[in-house]
Amino acid sequence: MQDANQFITTLLSSVTIAHVLHFKTRSYAQHMALGSFYSELENLTDGLFEEYLGCTENAISKPFPSVSISFNQEPLSFLKDLHLYVKENRSAMGEESNIQNTVDSILSCICTCIYKVENLS
């Protein structure tokens, strides 16, 4: 099972991946969708971790894990993989309803971008 540090690190790494994919695409629609996505995901992830630290009174007691980032994926594959990851590992953030609501907002952000990349390109 993932812990909160791994979950947050994966989301923050995903911001970087989305940012790179935003620059790599030749599709204007994907460029715009990914541009909005990485910005919103970064804000949601920051808020999620602040909520987590405030609600659980956990301190960051260990270094964040390193994550190997791959930039070879297509945007749609990346988004679908990220959606699955968040759904499968959301329990790493605990059971507080407000924290899980923020996780739901992250999933909504991912789903919206999937729609835009899949249908508006």
- What are the tens digits of pLDDT across the range 67-104? 666 666 899 999 999 999 999 999 999 999 999 999 99
Residue 61 pLDDT exceeds 70? no
The answer to the question of residue 16 being in a domain is: yes
Percent of the chain with pLDDT strictly greater than 70 = 87
Structurally, the chain folds into a number of domains equal to: 1
Count of helix runs (H) and strand runs (E) in the chain: 4, 0
Place of tokens 């994966």: 10
Band the pLDDT of 51: cuts 50, 70, 90.
very high
Residue 59 pLDDT exceeds 80? no
Query: Domain containing 34: what range?
Result: 4-60+72-119
The answer to the question of residue 66 being in a domain is: no
The answer to the question of residue 67 being in a domain is: no
